[in-house]
Amino acid sequence: MPYAVKIPIVRKQSWGDYHLFRFQAPEMAAAARPGQFVMIRPGESTAPLLRRPISIHGRDRGALEIFFQVAGEGTALLARRKAGDTFDVLGPLGRGFDLDAPLDGKTACLLGGGRGIAPLYFLALELADRGALVKVLYGGRTADDLPVRDRFEEAGLELACSTDDGSFGFPGLVTGLLETEIPVRRPDFLFVCGPDPMMKAAAGLASRFRIPAQISLESVMGCGFGACWGCVRRIKRAGAEAWRKICEDGPVFPAEDIVWEGWK
């Protein structure tokens, strides 16, 4: 059951526009599953007014971590918080990744673009825990946009990077890196989070190579818990298309259920 708390940030790490907060929230941590998110109030006043959705990046016993990139006013205000400051967190929310399939000995490929890497760290550790062979593909614009790559390596997870400008790792898009990966070691499962064009391209590859893929979508959220109907995306289920709330039915969906037409 989700709930809201005002809690102190116990640790903060920053890399330019990217920030990682750790906070102690034992009940929230116990309930959290990879792919779920929290809603955070950027400030105390009415400007900005709404909470902002941020994925759960990591869990360490009773602590949770978030990792975010400054995208506008709300995240900029959040980034100004220091260790010791309190912030207002509501969660855990959403359904997260479906990990019901047997994973032992299976190869799971995780594809993260930019800030989309956030939920994949928690997921990678959980998959590894369940005996999956995890390979993380992490793409960014430049080498500076891959700040948490060390974390994956320190956790003993296999990682390959790509940059759009070729300054680090594979030169090009992370979906290009995936295309080189598939013939070498075809993954049994794909898990994807990143900008829409990247997720759309990844969904295309998943369908072409018949790899089951789960995609974590984004949308502007008014509430995060199903009350405003503001966060919808076009989703196909049992042959019928509808606007579905991603905060409640997602944010993670099977790639084949997502309707990309007409979406920028």
Ligand X SMILES: Cc1cc2nc3c(=O)[nH]c(=O)nc-3n(C[C@H](O)[C@H](O)[C@H](O)COP(=O)(O)OP(=O)(O)OC[C@H]3O[C@@H](n4cnc5c(N)ncnc54)[C@H](O)[C@@H]3O)c2cc1C
Which window, 6-14, 62-70, 150-158, 162-170, contacts ligand X (CB under 6 A)? 62-70
User: How many degrees, rounded to 5, is the angle at CA 140 between CA 123 and CA 71?
Assistant: 85
For tokens 């912030």, the residue is: 87
What residues numbered 206-245 form the site for other proteins, per CB under 8 A?
A: 219-223, 225-233, 242-243
As given in the structure block, the two tokens for residue 244 are 């579905």
Q: CA separation (Å) from 244 to 51, 66, 85, 173, 226?
A: 20, 25, 36, 29, 10
What residues numbered 79-118 form the site for other proteins, per CB under 8 A?
A: 90
76: contact with other proteins by CB under 8 A: no
223: contact with ligand FES by CB under 6 A: yes
Residue 1's binding partner among other proteins, ligand FES, ligand X, none (Cβ under 5 to 8 angstroms by kind) is other proteins
Binding characters for other proteins, 3-32, by CB under 8 A (x = yes): xx----------------------------
Counting Cβ atoms within 10 Å, is residue 107 exposed (0-12), middle (13-18) or buried (19+)? middle
Tell me, rounded to whole angstroms, the distance of Cα 209 from its chain centroid.
23
Residue 46's binding partner among ligand X, ligand FES, other proteins, none (Cβ under 5 to 8 angstroms by kind) is other proteins
Which window, 18-26, 164-172, 221-229, 253-261, contacts ligand FES (CB under 6 A)? 221-229
41: contact with other proteins by CB under 8 A: yes
Judged by beta carbon, residue 33 or residue 130, the one nearer other proteins is 33
Binding characters for other proteins, 128-167, by CB under 8 A (x = yes): ----------------------------------------
What residues numbered 216-245 form the site for ligand X, per CB under 6 A?
A: 218-221
- Indicate the SS3 state at residue 82: coil
Q: CA separation (Å) from 155 to 64, 150, 194, 215, 240?
A: 16, 8, 22, 23, 42
Residue 238's binding partner among ligand FES, other proteins, ligand X, none (Cβ under 5 to 8 angstroms by kind) is none
Closest among 214, 262, 216, 254 to 238, alpha carbons compared: 254
Residue number of the CB closest to ligand X reads 72
Q: Let me know: does 139 contact 113? Beta carbons within 8 Å.
A: yes
The percent of the chain in helix, strand and coil, each rounded to the nearest 5, is 25, 35, 40
Shortest reach from residue 49's CB to ligand FES, in Å: 14
Residue 81's binding partner among ligand FES, other proteins, ligand X, none (Cβ under 5 to 8 angstroms by kind) is none
Question: Rounded CA gap, 178 and 4, in Å?
Answer: 38
Residue 49's binding partner among ligand X, other proteins, ligand FES, none (Cβ under 5 to 8 angstroms by kind) is other proteins
User: How many degrees, rounded to 5, is the angle at CA 119 between CA 127 and CA 239?
Assistant: 85
Give the footprint of ligand FES on this chain (CB under 6 A).
221-224, 226-231, 245, 247
